[in-house]
Amino acid sequence: MRQVAPVNLVITSGEPAGIGPELSLAAALIFLQEQADVQITILGDRSLFEISAGLSADILERLKFEECRLAQPAVPGRLNAANATYVLEMLDLAVVGCLAGRFNAMITAPLQKSIINDAGTPFTGHTEYLAKACRVDHVVMMLRASLPAGFLGLQYPHDLRVALVTTHLPLQAVSASLSTPLILETIQIVHKDLQKKFGIVDPVIRVAGLNPHAGESGYLGLEEIEKITPAIMLAQQQGIQVTGPYPGDTMIDATNLSQVDAYIAMYHDQGLAPFKLVAFGGGVNVTLGLPMIRTSVDHGTALDIAGQGVADAGSMLEALRLAYQLAVHEKESQS
């Protein structure tokens, strides 16, 4: 039975010089028309949002704005380090609201990592920042996209989910950062959140190797033998349906798409290159392991088209839809 209380979603509108503010508003208006039991709060400087005339009273009642003030006026396409703290303030407010139960989920528009670092705050990404804000040692970045029936031979619609052991690291640092405990914890977090947040009773997970051909029995590297395989075996002993390590170039295959609930890659581009080939613009970033629900777009700030009204709100809309689905599932599981 559908809950009586509305689902309260909060959007952080991201880099003010990018497409985040316009996508936040556009996607929110579409989703409010799709779902009658949703209230959406957009965080950001009110000057960045222009409400068109003719919206129904119901939509206007369920669309809220909470203002964070820009340090300096934002110009589309022009980064300004003075506004870096404004972007972080929105994240902090959303986290506090979610942890307090005021919001059921947060959705983040894209931000510009470089400008936050230029302003003097070390910043590697949303995922790492939210983990620290929630005092969680290990979270997992996972991308999800809905694939339609007929795509690559799929008989039925199916979700493609790709999670990462490491996220925003230089490639040369990946091998040294890998360890059996890290890989095992990643598998455990993916397994647990697929059960808890996505409602998948017994998830099927595939894990990639690090080297070409998954190390070729040690001839092309030892990480598979020394770090990855032991983690998979320990997870299997815990009853998790996980297999691997598979060669990175063949792990995600059309013949197994419908049987796998999540793929785990060792590093950013290994997992996200194939994902974005088939789902760019329609994918959603989900942070697993947090004590709250967080989804995001799968693209950047697109400074070159900011303010022109041509940005596609598809990924933001999908992020709202998934956040809503996860929030509803969480509410129903607690009732």
Task: For domain 138-288, give the CATH superfamily.
Answer: Isopropylmalate Dehydrogenase (3.40.718.10)
Fold of 1-136+290-335: Isopropylmalate Dehydrogenase (3.40.718)
Structure tokens at 62: 């369920």
pLDDT in tens, 37-80: 999 999 999 999 988 878 899 999 999 999 999 999 999 999 99
8: part of which helix (H) or strand (E)? strand 7-12
pLDDT in tens, 101-145: 999 999 999 999 999 998 888 888 898 899 999 999 999 999 999
Residue 125 confidence (pLDDT): 85
Give me the mean pLDDT over the 77-90 stretch.
95
Residue 75 confidence (pLDDT): 95
Give bridge partners of residue 264 from the DSSP assignment: 163, 207
Long-range contacts of 92-96 (CB under 8 A, 24+ apart): 92/133, 93/12, 93/43, 93/66, 93/68, 94/10, 94/12, 94/43, 95/130, 95/133, 95/134, 95/292
Same fold, 1-136+290-335 and 138-288: yes
Does residue 127 contact residue 167 with C-beta atoms inside 8 Å?
yes
Average pLDDT across the chain, whole number: 93
CA dist 145 and 147 (Å) reads 6
Lowest mean pLDDT among 3-17, 32-46, 180-194, 251-265: 3-17
Q: Quick check: 292 pLDDT over 90?
A: yes
Q: Quick check: 3 pLDDT over 50?
A: no
Domain ranges of the chain: 1-136+290-335, 138-288
Residue 4 confidence (pLDDT): 53
Q: Quick check: 163 pLDDT over 60?
A: yes
Residue 1 confidence (pLDDT): 39
Residue 283 confidence (pLDDT): 87
Q: List CB contacts of 225: < 8 A, sequence separation 6 or more.
A: 215, 217, 218
pLDDT band at 30 (very low <50, low <70, confident <90, very high): very high
